[in-house]
Amino acid sequence: MSLNFLDFRTRQRDYLLSIAQAMVSRLNLRAVLRLIIEASVEMLQGQVGLIALHDPKDGFSFSASYGLPPALVDAFEPLVMGLPPVESPQNFDLPDMSEKLREIAQETGLLLRQVVALPMFVEQDFLGVIFVFRSHSLLFSPDDRQILRSFADYAAIAVNNARLYESAVTERRRLDALLEASADGIMVLRPDLTVERFNQALVSLTGWPMADALNQAHDEVITWARQNSPATLAQAVTQGWPTREGRALYVEGDLRRRNGSVVSVGITYAPLMTAKGGVLNIIGIVRDITRFREADVLKDRFISVVSHELKTPVAIIKGYAETLSRPAARRNAQLQEEMLGAITEEADRLARLVDDLLDVSRLQAGGLPFRDVDDVDLRLIAQRVCERYRPQAQNHTLRLDFPDDFPIIRGDPQRLEQALDNFVSNALKYSPRGGEVVIRGEATPAEVVLSVSDQGVGIPLDEQEKIFERFYRVEGPETRAASGAGLGLYLTRAIIKAHGGRCWVQSRPGQGSTFYAALPRETALALLPMVLLPED
Ligand code: ADP
């Protein structure tokens, strides 16, 4: 049956129209390809049609057929197997397939005499081949090819669209996964600064459940308790930000969580612009900077405390050394002795500071080595510390209070002496008006508890934990008058912890303090690593 030319053109136009409709209305690639192959076969007056799609990774696979029982599709594989690599629409040259066609016809029992095949390209991307077979021997004409060309082009566009859609979906899923897995809080804002997306990390950071945060105004969710950047997002937007893509805005400060508590964060707002320069979205990346802030505070404390602690002894040593270099001072033996004594004392203080700093840095780096582990008689250690301080403690009464049967424990004697020494030197330093300092030892079935009490300035309740931090010193005239770098208690607690013990203080401002160190009687030191562990 042959169609007259007009009918033929009308049919072709109708087919192309319905293919175009199918392409815009459906994303079902297979259905579109089926329609295309059906149209191709019919318009070319063939009997059988096949579309083989090509994937650079997986090679060819048949995606649509017409006039062919599905079971027979695989029999056509030799056709695509033998295809030469296809690099561009221009150099596609179909090899002679008549031999293969004969074999396939034989295997399938189908009458297949002629085949025409055209590649499907979108620009330089080769997407597959469309085949039409005839059972009669009429050769395919250039016109036939021309018609098939238009169908192949449609098929190529449909395949390309489907692949683009698929990669857009994959891309979106990848983005979703990235958003959700990110440890930083991420939000996507609309141009009117309402929240379009809000990831899990931001839920944890702000305390805003995702459902509540979505569609809220940015300023409802991000409220600053303190903000130390030139402008907030809203202020920057009022001033004309963003002017172009890539110009990010950084805002840092203390964010008020939904429950009222605060957290230090830094937010980077990155605008996503349209081609015309409008704002498409603003991406906000919220980072918890509490640790940086703490590190900053620590660094400031370190610099102020250590520089002060270095300056004082160096100034004293220099002053005395200069005086001693004068002939007048050399003639006065007593003065000389006093000054040399003071120089030695200040040099010792510097050496202690350096030792403490080294210990702190070792502790930070992973641990302080135990110097040696032995039987330790804490009573003896307490006596030794007492003797050491008695000469300089004229205003104080130093008293030991230990039961006779005070137990021996296992530990590092030098480190434990360092700990007790810190307690006692603090008790003296921070009771400038003197009073009694008692070093007490008590034993319970499980623990020995050492305590050092004084009648000094005491410590405000809200600072009783902080004084165990590195470089922390209570602000006040009494502390300022006493030298110190704020490391003693930090190291003491680390030493006691490494022995499996605990360290704490009880104090009342103006009335005195008692520092405690409880150590297990049976320290399984063999089980502990041979280091003093840093804080939990
Ligand atoms: P330092 O004495 O070198 O400053 P510490 O770590 O030993 O460092 O002590 C930290 C802070 O704790 C001190 O600066 C002081 O403010 C406070 N403190 C420690 N011991 C006492 C005490 N017995 N009485 C009052 N305040 C104390």
Residue nearest to atom 14 of ligand 1 (CA): 473
Residue nearest to atom 16 of ligand 1 (CA): 474
CA 315 from chain centre, in angstroms, equals: 46
Q: 44-53, 93-102, 370-379: which has the minimum mean pLDDT?
A: 93-102
Q: In what order do the strands lie in the sheet with 279-288?
A: 195-198, 185-189, 279-288, 262-273, 249-256, 223-227
In whole angstroms, what is the distance from residue 183 CA to residue 200 CA?
Answer: 9
User: Which atom of ligand 1 lies closest to the CA of 452?
Assistant: 23
Q: What is the pLDDT of residue 162?
A: 84
- Structural domains of the chain, with CATH: 3-173 (3.30.450.40), 184-288 (3.30.450.20), 293-365 (1.10.287.130), 369-532 (3.30.565.10)
Greatest mean pLDDT range, 57-66, 124-133, 271-280, 439-448: 439-448
What is the arithmetic mean of pLDDT over 236-249? 88
C-alpha 473 to ligand 1 mean position (Å):
6
396-423 residue pLDDT tens: 999 999 999 999 999 999 999 999 999 9
In whole angstroms, what is the distance from residue 110 CA to residue 298 CA?
Answer: 85
C-alpha 419 to ligand 1 mean position (Å):
13
Q: What is the pLDDT of residue 530?
A: 46
Residue nearest to atom 23 of ligand 1 (CA): 427
Q: What is the pLDDT of residue 518?
A: 96
In whole angstroms, what is the distance from residue 100 CA to residue 81 CA?
Answer: 11
User: Which atom of ligand 1 lies closest to the CA of 489?
Assistant: 6
pLDDT tier, 91 (very low <50, low <70, confident <90, very high otherwise): low
Residue nearest to atom 9 of ligand 1 (CA): 486
Q: Which of 349, 352, 354, 426 to mutate to test the pocket of ligand 1 (most atoms within 8 A of CB)?
A: 426
This prediction's pTM: 0.61
Residue nearest to atom 12 of ligand 1 (CA): 467
267, 222 in Cβ contact below 8 A?
yes
Residue nearest to atom 25 of ligand 1 (CA): 458
C-alpha distances in Å from residue 312, one per residue of 298, 307, 379, 422, 485: 21, 9, 34, 20, 12
Q: Is the pLDDT of residue 61 over 80?
A: yes
User: Strand pairing partners for 532?
Assistant: 368
The percentage of residues in the chain with a pLDDT greater than 70, rounded to a whole number, is: 94
Q: Is the pLDDT of residue 534 over 50?
A: no
Q: Which of 430, 464, 470, 475 to mutate to test the pocket of ligand 1 (most atoms within 8 A of CB)?
A: 430
Q: Is the pLDDT of residue 287 over 80?
A: yes
- Give the pair of three-digit tokens for residue 97: 């397939």
27 by DSSP, 3-state: which? coil
User: Strand pairing partners for 368?
Assistant: 532
In whole angstroms, what is the distance from residue 291 CA to residue 282 CA?
Answer: 26
Q: Which residues form the pocket of ligand 1, taking CB atoms under 6 Å from any ligand atom?
A: 422, 426-427, 430, 454, 456-459, 467, 472-474, 479, 484-490, 513
C-alpha 378 to ligand 1 mean position (Å):
22
Residue nearest to atom 19 of ligand 1 (CA): 426
339-370 residue pLDDT tens: 899 999 899 989 988 888 888 888 877 777 77
Alpha helices of 114-197 — where are they, by DSSP H? 142-181
Residue nearest to atom 7 of ligand 1 (CA): 488
Q: What is the pLDDT of residue 535?
A: 46
Q: Are strands 185-189 and 195-198 parallel, antiparallel or unpaired?
A: antiparallel
When the pLDDT of each residue in the chain is averaged and rounded to a whole number, the result is 88
Q: Is the pLDDT of residue 526 over 60?
A: no
Q: Is the pLDDT of residue 318 over 90?
A: yes
146, 122 in Cβ contact below 8 A?
no
